[in-house]
Copies of this chain bind each other. A is one copy, B any other.
Amino acid sequence: MDNVIASNHSPVETPPEVTLIPNNSLLTETPEEGRQLAVKMARLIIKLTQPDDEKRKQLRDVYGNDAMMLIAVGQTVATEFATIAAANNYWQK
């Protein structure tokens, strides 16, 4: 969240240390891979916002035992997946 809220260094102007989209593409072979990409993209925004590995680890127990947060993660992944699915024309043949 640091850089989102208060950083003076724009990710656009200065390359972030974190790659935000693996392989720099939204296209995947299958829906399953698209879903995995959605999870990955959600995770990378969190990593960009809180780059400290230790802090993220400390937050694990909070997440795993908080029902509302589990649901909220699902909401975020669903939003990411909507974009990926559209990019792949929903993998229609």
Which A residues lie at the B interface, using CB under 8 A? 1-7, 10-13, 16, 19-22, 24-27, 30-33, 35-37, 39-43, 45-46, 48-50, 52-53, 55-60, 62-83, 85-87, 90-92
Contact = CB atoms under 8 A, between A and B. Distances in A.
A30 B12 CA distance: 12
B50 A39 contact: no
A74 B42 CA distance: 6
Chain A, interface SS category: helix
Nearest to A33: B12
Given A42-B4, A67-B5, A86-B90, A35 B12 contact: no
Nearest to A79: B78
A45 B69 CA distance: 12
